[in-house]
Amino acid sequence: MRFMPPTHRGEASFINVSASAFAAARLGALQALAAWPVLLGRVMFYLLILVVLAALWDKVAAEQVTPLAGMLPPEGLAIYIGVTEWVTLSVVAIERGFEDDIRNGGLEPYLLRPKSYLLQRVAPALGETMVRLVVLGMAGLAAVAMSGRPLPAPGALLALIVLGGLGCIVGMMLYVLVGLAAFWMRRVLPAMLIVQKLSFLLGGLVAPISLYPDWLFSIAKATPFGAHLYWVGVQTVTPSARLFCIGIAWQILWSMVLGALCALVWQAGLQKAVREGL
């Protein structure tokens, strides 16, 4: 048997893993494009949400019932909501795939393959997410232009693209954790809805968390939900390089923490499945 240095083998393995992940992501992106009616439906949903929530905030801003209403940006929160919903709706509902695989025995064939199950599930979803980001982003920009509201400055737009991409990765990690809960729960819908509502609340999906009381704002901006949405959306309200750097830092930190947590939960779930069955 030929001796192969472990470092060499490790590098080759890393390249192979990266290549297969990239191929899977590309496949996911192509599948998303092929299913264009689904994509179109998502664009419609996105535009509908924008119409409803923009109407809500325009009404609040127009009435100025309380001093807090005077703190809203003069152009309203439509662009902020456009951005947070853009990130939210771009993230693929990956938890459903995990639930199906784990509950219906679809996991077993994957375990026999030499590729990592988690990576083979996450990579295509990431590819699909990137396609959604581009399509929904274009639809959002078109909607803003047609509504006559001011478009974000080019610098802010670039910042939004970077933060939006990272925000999606954080969001996807959260939904991977939800999906892996299927090892313990029959249906992950309630867990998904709780994460969704925490994104509403602590991520600032429909209003910047800076409008909250100080104590809640301090907590919310440090959570993964803040990294998922708030640090992206804040660039539309108060665009600045400082907030961009802070946002990136939180997003990278939470991507790493949630990635590690996903790997741990997967190991624990797999051990349970091997020990007790599904």
Partner 1 sequence: MLTTYAMQIIAAIRISFADRINFFLQMTGMAVNNGFFFLLWILFFAGFRSVGGWQFDDVCLLLGIIMTVVGIAGILFGGYRDMAAAILRGEADALLTQPKPVLARLLARESFAHAWGDLVTGTAMLATLAGLDATRMPLAMLGVGLGLTVYVSASVAFASLAFWIAGARSLARDLTDFLLLFSSYPGSIYTGATKLIAFTILPAGFVVLAPVEFVRQPTSGNLGIAAAAAIGYASLAMFVFHQGLKQYQCGRTPTSS
Residue position matching structure tokens 């803003």: 144
Residues contacting partner 1: total by CB under 8 A: 36
* C-alpha–C-alpha distance, residues 266 and 96, integer Å: 16
- Here's the x/- map for partner 1, 11-30, by CB under 8 A: it reads as --------------------
Among 1, 4, 65, 112, binds partner 1 (CB under 8 A): 65
- Secondary structure letter of residue 210 according to DSSP: G
∠ CA 205-122-116, rounded to 5°: 150
Out of 34, 111, 151, 194, name the contact with partner 1 by CB under 8 A. Answer: 194
CB of 201 to partner 1, least distance (A): 5
Tokens representing 238 are 């108060």
196 scored as a contact of partner 1 (CB under 8 A): yes
Among 18, 23, 33, 59, binds partner 1 (CB under 8 A): 59
Q: Give the C-alpha separation, 112 to 47, whole Å.
A: 43
User: Looking only at Cα atoms, what is the longest distance across the chain?
Assistant: 80
**Minimal distance in Å, beta carbon 114 to partner 1?**
28
Using CB under 8 A as the binding rule, whether residue 33 contacts partner 1 is answered as: no
Work out whether 52 is an interface residue with partner 1 (CB under 8 A). Answer: yes
Which residues within the stretch 68-97 sit at the binding site for partner 1 (CB under 8 A)? 68-69
Residues 6+ apart with CB under 8 A from 2: none
Q: Which stretch binds partner 1 (CB under 8 A): 57-65, 139-147, 167-175, 260-268?
A: 57-65
**Does 48 contact partner 1 by CB under 8 A?**
yes
Residues in the chain: 278
Using rule CB under 8 A, residue 34 touches partner 1: no
212 binds partner 1 (CB under 8 A): yes
Nearer Cβ to partner 1 (153/193): 193
Integer Cα distance of 176 and 173 in angstroms? 5
Other C-beta atoms closer than 10 Å to the C-beta of 257 total 14
Rounded-to-integer distance, Cα 55 and Cα 51, Å: 6
Q: Is residue 225 packed enough to be buried (19+ CB in 10 Å), middle (13-18) or exposed (0-12)?
A: buried
Positions touching partner 1 (CB under 8 A) are 37-38, 41, 44-45, 48-49, 51-52, 55-56, 59-60, 63, 65-66, 68-69, 185-187, 189-191, 193-194, 196-198, 200-201, 206-207, 211-212, 216
